[in-house]
Structure 1
Amino acid sequence: MNTMRNSIQLMGRVGLEPIIRMTKTGSKMAALRIATHQFSKNELGEWTDHVHWHNLVVWGRLVKTVELQCTKGTHVLIEGALTYRDFVDNAGVKRTNAEIKVRELQVIDKIIVQENT
């Protein structure tokens, strides 16, 4: 087993409509966010739901999958690498954003085809 691997796997739902952009070099990329849930008991023994939001960046052949199959609420399974991007916000403050560079994406939702009668 390789102990020096940057890999993350998440299953969640798309939170907003994906944003598809074209780079200056003509490549397409997709940016989207997914929500995952973590359930745990609080001090009173009650179950609580913690929602975690994850920023995803998709490149290459997978952008077409995002364009055609992913909308708000779509259930997806992704595998990728955790990356960090530094930027300066509008107030001039340096910030760091954690993103997942997606290597594999699978839509979990069942596709229901209705026949016209």
Structure 2
Amino acid sequence: MLRNGSALLFRQMVRHRSTDTSLILERSINRVQLLGRVGQDPVMRQVEGRNPVTIFSMATNEMWRSGEGEVSQTGDVSQKTTWHRISVFKPGLRDVAYHYVKKGARILVEGKLDYGEYVDKNNVKRQATTIIADNIVFLSEIRDRE
């Protein structure tokens, strides 16, 4: 009974009714945290009529041991590297990222996932997954851009 009561309370906290319609608006979460190393120095791009954006790549690694059971210390260690495209639109953070993020630096990026489409130089429609950063924590020493 307590479980059903807490679930009902949670639903009431998350759902909000608009005063002039019967539309139910629900909150949702699109949140990403990545801890890894920068794969390339950032570049700043500006498309006509839009705000500039700082873009860089970031690698995260997943490691596991293949063997007889999870606690086994025998077996081969395998690693998978995943590359992520990071875009920074926030004005202050965009400039800090451009000047201080360096290839090889260890950073924590917080933001949201964004899926989009673009047309490449061969006029082929492509899909892109991007992390829109709203916070960057520097875990390596910061050095000025030369």
Scaled by the length of structure 1, the TM-score of the pair is 0.82
Query: Does 2:30 match 1:6?
Result: yes
Query: Does 2:92 match 1:61?
Result: yes
Residue 96 (structure 1) aligns with: 127
Q: How far does residue 102 in structure 1 lie from its aligned partner after superposition?
A: 0.5
Residue 105 (structure 1) aligns with: 136
Q: How far does residue 26 in structure 1 lie from its aligned partner after superposition?
A: 6.5
SS across alignment from 1:90 = coil
Match for 1:85: what amino acid?
G
Q: How far does residue 27 in structure 1 lie from its aligned partner after superposition?
A: 2.8
Runs of 4+ residues over 4 Å off in structure 1: none
Match for 2:117: what amino acid?
D
Q: How far does residue 36 in structure 1 lie from its aligned partner after superposition?
A: 0.6
Alpha carbon RMSD of aligned pairs, Å?
A: 2.3
Mapped to 1, the partners of 2:53 and 2:121 lie a distance apart of 23
For the structure 1 residues 88 and 26, does the alpha-carbon distance in structure 2 shift closer, same or farther, using more than 3 Å as the test?
Answer: closer
More strand by share: 1
SS across alignment from 2:98 = helix
Q: Larger C-alpha radius of gyration, 1 or 2?
A: 2
Q: Which range is displaced more, 75-84 or 90-99?
A: 90-99
Match for 1:58: what amino acid?
V
Identity of aligned residues (%): 27
More helix by share: 2
Unaligned residue ranges in structure 1 (runs of 5+): 113-117
Match for 1:54: what amino acid?
H
Q: How far does residue 100 in structure 1 lie from its aligned partner after superposition?
A: 0.4
Scaled by the length of structure 2, the TM-score of the pair is 0.67
For the structure 1 residues 42 and 92, does the alpha-carbon distance in structure 2 shift closer, same or farther, using more than 3 Å as the test?
Answer: farther
Q: Aligned residues, how many?
A: 112
Mapped to 2, the partners of 1:88 and 1:67 lie a distance apart of 25
Query: Does 2:48 match 1:31?
Result: no
For the structure 1 residues 77 and 91, does the alpha-carbon distance in structure 2 shift closer, same or farther, using more than 3 Å as the test?
Answer: same
Residue 115 (structure 1) aligns with: none
